[in-house]
A and B are shown apart, each in its own frame.
Chain A
Amino acid sequence: MSDALSRRDFVATLGSAGAVWLLADVTVREDAAAHAAHQVTQAQPALAVFTREQATEIEAIASRIIPTDDTPGAREAGVIYFIDRSLATWAKDQLPVFTEGLTRLPKDVETRFAGQSRFSALAPAQQDEVLKSIEQTPFFGTMRFATLAGMFSLPTHGGNRDFVGWKLMGQENAMEFTPPFGWYDTPANRRAMLGGDA
């Protein structure tokens, strides 16, 4: 990747506090918007990039990054559809990271669990063991970022279905809020903490 400008980082890097900007092209964003508008009308989204088998593996990884427990995880959020759509549009140039990762994955599985090759067929603890072994790879870093982006971006991008990601965080989907917003700005608590200075 010699030319930093031709690259759109799917793996986020946070700048220092003043600015957190990641780079992507204008044209691919417009593609993405058109694609999203089309996809959102379909009940069962079609896959644009992955085969069903590949999607099963990717979804299995995503659901170890944000597992399902007493609340929905990456699987229920439809993160796989977000990733597939992104790779078809604005994150097109990240596709090789996924195809290479998917190509390697059966070997990573087999190294640890002889006779096995499908990540999605492993038990959760076994899956975690495989992921720990590839935790430092670009594939896993990109998967982690893509899973978070799919969990917490607007549902129009394919993931965060019914805002399950936002609900997990305590982020309400509303255009306005009325104070107090939390514990500290509740007047009685503020007075208790600050005394006469409140």
Chain B
Amino acid sequence: MSAAQGRATGQGTPRRQYATTDAVDFVVVGSGAAGGSVARELTRLGHSVVLLEQGKAYTRGDFHHDELEIVLNNKYANLPPAHVQTYRKVPDARAERRHYLLYAMAVGGSSMHYAANYWRFRPGDFNEYSRRGGVPGAALADWPITYDDLEPYYTAVEWAIGVSGQGGADPDEGRRSRPYPMPALPVTGPGVVLEIAAKKMGWRALPAPMAINSRPYKGREACHNCGFCWNFPCEWGAKSGTNFTMVPEALASGRCELRSECKVSRIETDDRGRVTGVVYFDASRTEVRQRARAVFLCANGAETPRLLLMSSSSRFPNGLANSSGMVGKHLMFNGNTGAGGEYEHEVNGHKGPPVTRIVLDTYDLHDKGFAGGGGFDFRYPFPPILSALSMPPDVPQWGAEFKQTMRRVHTRAVQCWGHTTSLPVPTNAVDLDPEAKDSWGLPAIRVTFKEHESDMQMYRYMYDRGIELLKAGGALRTWGTPPGDDPGIAVHLLGTCRMGNDPATSVVNAAHRAHDVPNLFMVDGSSFVTSGRGQPTLTIQALAFRAADLASRAAKRGELG
């Protein structure tokens, strides 16, 4: 076993263990994009950390190409019956049982199996409200930080984990203090088709920034092009999820104890209103109390607000850190559109990384009358079963002709996926269901969500441009379904503990510190003030690095007890 493999599995590193009765500097709840990054930075800066993860710890040897188990049966998801959610469209409706918000239950969280699109926000994403104005029915606001505040952390994350890309390729990107650590991934079939399409449309196809190694990086392999990527954990360790990057580095510091299969149920506070630790159920469902000088919630845009609401007390009757009433509000998902095209020659998009070229000419659609905007990629990420289920609908769907369709189309199809903003609507929210409970006896997540009409129009516009783009690339036929007003399932969980300078309208301040509780920090998708253009992970991680840096400074000033 190489040193890198040893690091990745945590072997060869003396495991640090902390007593539950000793107050560690920080408890970090969640080991995904945000929590893994926070743990890595806090330990690098010298702090003791207990990292709690409700999912399991997996190693490369656990991963495989089993689409039935991983994709169709959702091996890694937060599934019923253990996990329970209810859903209603509008606040005055009764919520029905329905599983709406999905994320991966594992060390590394959803970064373990993401497609790894790593777009930075552009500078204008942070102050779109003051530049473009509001939208009725949406609580648009500027971020309390600027692109320049975040830029050093974007760069630090790109170098910490390994991102492949071509700095400067996008003429509208923000200032970049360092190039990407690796060149962009070589263009694959769908990327070339997008280049052809974009040229015809008078648009630009840009090399996609991807958190997938284009060459060996920090002891991990380069991508071997196996193609089982989107929704699959990487069998080569070439995808830069926190399971392969941040978490192993945090453990290697000797200052971090990872406890997986631990489900946090409550944040505890003292009579001064300060956090004293967390209560969780361990793998055997025994209740454990871990003391801490400060707590970081990085449990994602559904579970972070849920934990705050579950931590209500006589001092915090509406939930911890919720004097504003904003905890759980402004749930955003990012709009997404999808359409297929069949091409004359073999594309073979099932080989190689999922995305190698993107188009951002639709990034700002205000001149078309829409708030926000987005971008496109071409890909064919469907493994065989999903591919068979996604054949063009204008031919028979079974029988000899269907068989010939599958034989021809799997290797010649491209999907055009649009990724867009979605508006922060105050009534779109995560809160606690008054009746339903999960298998730990904790209140179920209740989702209230209805798309904003302005977003529906913008999604339709993007869907139509996507079809045009497929045709411009030479598609022999195209197919798809325009986005409906119920996304059905959501994976980008954003906006539910928004950042802001005003304690009356936001949950955390510009340093991700709860306005109401000085030693409680929240950073993950919940921090987002606006949704961005559909690829949130790099921004989540940059926010996490910045939050950890600022929290460390506060700790070193003695502010955290």
Measuring CB to CB, which residues of chain A are less than 8 angstroms from any residue of chain B? 3-6, 8, 12, 14-26, 29, 32-33, 64-67, 69, 71, 73, 90, 128, 131, 144-145, 148-149, 151-154, 156-157, 165-166, 168-171, 173-179, 181-185, 189-190, 193-194, 197-198
Contact = CB atoms under 8 A, between A and B. Distances in A.
Given A26-B79, A169-B384, A15 B488 contact: yes
Contacts of B67: 152-154
B98 A22 contact: no
A191 to B, nearest CB: 10
Nearest to B87: A4
A32 to B, nearest CB: 8
Contacts of A21: 71, 74, 77, 102, 489
A3 to B, nearest CB: 6
A157 B102 CA distance: 25
Contacts of A166: 384
Given A5-B84, A22-B74, A64-B399, A181 B188 contact: yes
B495 interface: no
Given A19-B490, A29-B75, A194-B196, A73 B227 contact: no
A16 B483 contact: yes
B235 A175 contact: yes
10 contacts: A5-B99, A12-B72, A14-B389, A66-B403, A144-B398, A152-B384, A153-B67, A168-B406, A169-B387, A181-B351
A67 B411 contact: no
A176 B199 contact: no
Contacts of A73: 403
A171 B410 contact: yes
Contacts of B263: none
Which of B347, B349, B389 gathers most chain A CB within 10 Å?
B389
Contact of B98 (A5, A71, A145, A181): A5
A24 B79 contact: yes
B336 interface: yes
Contacts of A178: 225
Contacts of A64: 398-399
A45 B384 CA distance: 24
Given A151-B388, A153-B68, A175-B235, 4 more contacts: A14-B386, A24-B73, A184-B196, A190-B192
B385 A169 contact: no
Contacts of A33: 69
Contacts of B553: none
Contact of A148 (B191, B343, B389): B389
B334 interface: yes
B187 interface: yes
Contacts of A175: 224, 226, 235-236
Contact of B337 (A16, A65, A176, A184): A16
Contact of A19 (B102, B227, B399, B419): B102
A157 B400 CA distance: 24
Which of B351, B407, B492 gathers most chain A CB within 10 Å?
B351
Contacts of A90: 73
Nearest to A10: B72
Nearest to A194: B195
A128 B41 CA distance: 63
A67 B399 contact: yes
B58 to A, nearest CB: 14
Which of A6, A23, A131, A185 gathers most chain B CB within 10 Å?
A185
Given A22-B73, A67-B399, A67-B403, A183 B346 contact: yes
A38 B400 CA distance: 34
A16 B225 contact: no
B348 A181 contact: yes
Which of B236, B399, B491 gathers most chain A CB within 10 Å?
B399
B226 A145 contact: no
A144 B384 CA distance: 15
Contacts of A16: 336-338, 481, 483-484, 487-488
B210 to A, nearest CB: 15
A124 to B, nearest CB: 9
A173 to B, nearest CB: 8
- Nearest 7 pairs of A and B residues by beta carbon: A17-B338, A183-B345, A176-B224, A152-B384, A182-B348, A18-B336, A184-B192
A17 to B, nearest CB: 3
Nearest to B388: A148
Contacts of B73: 8, 22, 24, 29, 90
B375 to A, nearest CB: 13
Contacts of A169: 384, 387-388, 406-407, 410-411
Nearest to B333: A18
B81 interface: yes
Interface in B74-131: 74-75, 77, 79-82, 84, 96-99, 102
B417 interface: yes
A185 B66 contact: no
Interface in B373-429: 384-390, 397-400, 402-403, 406-407, 410-411, 415, 417-419
Contacts of B6: none
Contacts of B351: 177, 181-182
B398 A65 contact: yes
Nearest to B96: A4
